């Protein structure tokens, strides 16, 4: 259950960040509400995951790393931002790091 909560926190945080980008520095006012709602949801889901026993180091590490990778991919898909091969390699390393953290958390 905590992993689903963490996944929800990651996805809503990425949605909030991409909405923030779409708002163009809040010049596009229709994105203000989605930014606030998605960030509130992200922190709420993360809080609940931690309250249900997920270690903070694991939760934050996976949340931050996954958020960076997914935001870079989302920015490419939705806004046409550059995604170089070096950035793609970095995303692969992030994914591997998240995998290793997951393996380490199961060894307890």
pLDDT given at position 106:
73
Over 70: is that where the pLDDT of 108 sits? no
Over 70: is that where the pLDDT of 107 sits? no
pLDDT tens-digit readout, 15-41: 999 999 999 989 999 999 999 999 999
Domains of the chain, by residue range, sit at 2-106
CA atoms within 13 A on the CB side of 7: 5
Average pLDDT over residues 83-99: 91
Over 90: is that where the pLDDT of 103 sits? no
pLDDT tens-digit readout, 59-87: 988 898 899 999 999 999 999 999 999 99
Three-state secondary structure call for residue 14: helix
């Amino acid at each position: 259950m905590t992993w689903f909560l963490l996944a929800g926190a990651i996805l809503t945080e990425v949605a909030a960040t991409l909405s923030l980008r779409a708002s163009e520095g809040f010049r596009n006012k229709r994105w203000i509400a989605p930014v606030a709602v998605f960030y509130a949801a992200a922190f709420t889901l993360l809080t609940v995951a931690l309250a249900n026993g997920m270690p903070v180091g694991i939760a934050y590490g996976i949340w931050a790393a996954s958020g960076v990778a997914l935001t870079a991919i989302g920015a490419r898909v939705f806004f046409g931002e550059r995604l170089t091969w070096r950035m793609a390699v970095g995303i692969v390393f992030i994914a591997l790091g998240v995998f290793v953290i997951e393996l380490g958390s199961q060894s307890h």
